[in-house]
Amino acid sequence: MKKVLQITIIIISAVLFYSCEEDFNPGTDFREKYILNCIIRGDTAYHIATIKKNYKGEIFNPYADKEIDDVKNAYIRIWYDDKVYTFRDTMIAREDTSRYTEPVYYYYSKDFIPESGKLLELRAELPNNKVLSGTTITPSEIQRDITTGVLLPNGDNEYSSVGWISKDERLYYAANFKFYYKKYVGGGRYQFEKKVPLDYKIVDGKEVPVYSLIFKAPKVIIRNSILDEMMKEISANDFRKKDYTIMGGVFEIMILDENLSTYYSSTHDFSDGFSINVDESDFTNITGGYGIFGSTIKRKVFVGFNKDYITSFGYETLQ
């Protein structure tokens, strides 16, 4: 669970507009709102839902508020394949207790693993009889696009790519990559794996590897110089290059459904990185409140390496 590319769902806040002649009143009438978030994953039977509510706190110092916004004792059900699954409630210790000290309250189900292309319906009945609901269709399957190449590196001298074919062009993807190799250690031959950054970014003046990216095109593009660097790292300061046998690699592709894709697009695609926007669009697919009910499936795309490329580092290839 912890290793999974995590998608963060925000609590949507309302933006109020006033004319120049009107006085701004920070203490306007309070309206109670509820936020339901649930992401169904196709690679596990464990699914989590949270229900939050807004509350009226300190106007000029919101950090002074200690009120917990979790909604407890809700009745949550999911309809899937003509069956109904009921969520249970539980709590987990809060990592950051600088502001809130009570455990985090959430709901979970561990009863089903959804297949691709399936409709799921979610309904949450709150203690005050308020009802929140939503639907999602799990993403469709993907097929390997061999025209982008089956071996790495490929393409030109600077970039390589690995692609797939999807029935839905609107979806977004999250991907990471690693390759496997074997090495003689203490007289035995053991298998290892090497995580490969898909890019680098500058943080506080330092170059930091980015191991997972979210993108729309059904293709992962990686710089060949990054592959070269990772190949060299596995045997750094080791002159016994023949002790290493390069096997193959795998791209783990997390496919986001239409709801999550639309949410990501609405919060990222409008920005060019150099401008500030005050009219960012909010997205919700929850009837009766706010939030997101979405789904993902994970698939693996396997790749090999060119034999000449492997031997250029002094390594062995699979026979």
Residue-wise pLDDT for 111-164, tens only, equals 999 999 999 999 999 999 999 999 999 999 999 988 877 899 986 779 999 999
> What is the chain's mean pLDDT, rounded?
85
Rounded average pLDDT over 92-97: 84
Is the model more confident about 8 or about 229? 229
* pLDDT value for 250: 96
Spatial distance between the Cα atoms of 233 and 315, rounded to a whole number of angstroms? 13
Spatial distance between the Cα atoms of 228 and 312, rounded to a whole number of angstroms? 10
* pLDDT value for 278: 45
Rounded average pLDDT over 25-42: 81
Spatial distance between the Cα atoms of 122 and 12, rounded to a whole number of angstroms? 19
To which residue do tokens 């490329």 refer?
309
* pLDDT value for 96: 81
Written out in words, the top-level CATH class of the domain with range 34-138 is mainly beta
Put simply, whether the predicted model's pTM sits higher than 0.85 gets the answer: no
Split at pLDDT 50, 70, 90, the class of 29 is low
The beta strands (E) that lie in 167-243 are given as 173-185, 188-196, 199-203, 206-210, 213-215, 219-223
**CA-closest candidate to residue 41, choices 87, 81, 84, 1:** 1
